[in-house]
Amino acid sequence: MALLTVIVPLYNEQDCAQACYERLTQVLSDMSVSAPDNKDNKNKENKTEIETKTKIEFEIIFVNDGSRDNTLSIIQSIAQNDNRLKIISLSRNFGQQAAFSAGLEYAKGDAVIFIDADLQDPPEVIPELVKKWLEGYQIIYGKRIRRKGESVFKLLSAKIYYKLLHSLADVKIPHDTGDFRLIDRCVADTVLKMPEHNRFLRGMTCWTGFKQTSVEYHRDKRVAGQTKYGFFKMIRLATDGIFAFSAKPLKLVSLLGSTALIASLLLLIYVFVSIFAGNTAAGWASIICVIMFFGGIQLLALGIIGEYIARIFDEVKGRPNYIVDFTVNISDDYE
Ligand code: UDP
Ligand code: MG
């Protein structure tokens, strides 16, 4: 028997909540995945691979991320009739990554699955994730092979972003993966020990280095409602990914600085030559160009350094990543 915890963040998802609950319970209810049962039989002699059915029990954690619509009342009424559905209600909107983290803290499962409420990542893929888990993998991320119903801008920006992240980040974060993934208990415990505030969970889980693989799937349209990731939230997540996983932008700044220095030294030689040649009067255009160039570089450098300082400031304050207002169907002894 294995316990699965499925964590779903919800922010103003009144139109998706019910459908999400139904599809998830349908998939999870009679899921017993057949796989070589090397979880329970680790120490037993197991020469001929025994195919056993592992019974899967589950709990679903809906994290209400400060919704201002009817999401909370809808999920509360579902939870009244089904105690496998737990609710963690945060005191305000803390963002999707914080909501996942809150769910993780309360998750009891041997494996934890992150999935969005809008059913863009189909719950029907979950048995495939679980199968890989039973084969011994500890992180199984969903890899998107097609993204239905997303704007050209989002597809293009995602592609460029993942390329950039891949080349900058010290940890190789796989292309075309989102938060939809299954992580083993050992990964969950490690992530829980990571106190950082700028949480980029897809990077943090990879960083742990446990055995990873992917399962390909088609990403669907949202079942209802609008995206909750506005332009600025998306930029915030994207910059968190880069600045939390790479110091290369800082190195780029020093490279830029030293290149500019060399360029200015060459320019100085030119200035001296011009003085001796006696043609120093004209030159307004070149002065403006130089000022603009260095001004630009300095501002860029300051901006990049600022990104890091802002994050250091955030970490130093040491505030919690989220505040739990109340929980439903969660006993006090959750640990
Ligand atoms: N979400 C959240 N807090 C936020 C923004 C989003 O909990 O501040 C949840 C949202 O309810 C959904 C998931 O995160 O379950 C993904 O959001 P969305 O589908 O809007 O993002 P997209 O798929 O467009 O990137
Ligand atoms: Mg979505």
Q: Which two tokens stand for residue 320?
A: 């919690």
State the ligand closest to the CA atom of 9: 1
Amino acid at 104: L
State the ligand closest to the CA atom of 69: 1
Q: Which residue has the tokens 């934890």?
A: 112
Position in ligand 1 atom list of the atom nearest CA 228: 20
Position in ligand 1 atom list of the atom nearest CA 12: 11
Nearest-angstrom CA–CA distance, 206 and 198: 16
Position in ligand 1 atom list of the atom nearest CA 8: 15
Strand (E) or helix (H) holding 112: strand 111-114
Q: Which two tokens stand for residue 171?
A: 């940890």
Nearest-angstrom CA–CA distance, 132 and 139: 9
Cα–ligand 1 centroid distance for 207 (angstroms): 23
Cα–ligand 1 centroid distance for 245 (angstroms): 22
Beta strands 139-147; 177-184: pairing state: antiparallel
Position in ligand 1 atom list of the atom nearest CA 116: 15
State the ligand closest to the CA atom of 157: 1
Query: Among 306, 326, 333, which residue's Cα sits nearest to residue 79?
Result: 326
Cα–ligand 2 centroid distance for 231 (angstroms): 14
Query: Among 238, 180, 183, 176, which residue's Cα sits nearest to residue 207?
Result: 183
Protein residue whose Cα sits closest to atom 24 of ligand 1:
227
DSSP 50: P
Position in ligand 1 atom list of the atom nearest CA 95: 8
Cα–ligand 2 centroid distance for 96 (angstroms): 11
Cα–ligand 2 centroid distance for 41 (angstroms): 38
Q: Where does ligand 1 bind, in terms of residues with CB under 6 Å?
A: 9-11, 13, 65, 93, 95-96, 99, 116-118, 120, 227-229
- The CA-CA-CA angle for residues 333, 192, 199, to 5°, reads 130
In this structure, the number of other CB atoms found within 10 A of the CB of residue 77 comes to 10
What is the pLDDT tens value at each position of the chain, 335 positions in all? 899 999 999 999 999 999 999 999 999 997 766 655 555 544 444 434 444 577 889 999 999 999 999 999 999 999 999 999 999 999 999 999 999 999 999 999 999 999 999 999 999 999 999 999 999 999 999 999 876 667 788 888 888 888 888 888 888 888 889 999 999 999 999 999 998 888 999 999 999 999 999 999 998 888 889 888 888 888 888 988 888 888 888 888 888 888 888 888 888 888 778 878 876 666 777 787 788 788 888 888 888 898 899 889 888 888 999 999 999 999 866 55
> Cα torsion for 23, 25, 31, 37, to the nearest 10°?
110
Nearest-angstrom CA–CA distance, 220 and 223: 8
Beta carbons of 28 and 68 less than 8 angstroms apart: no
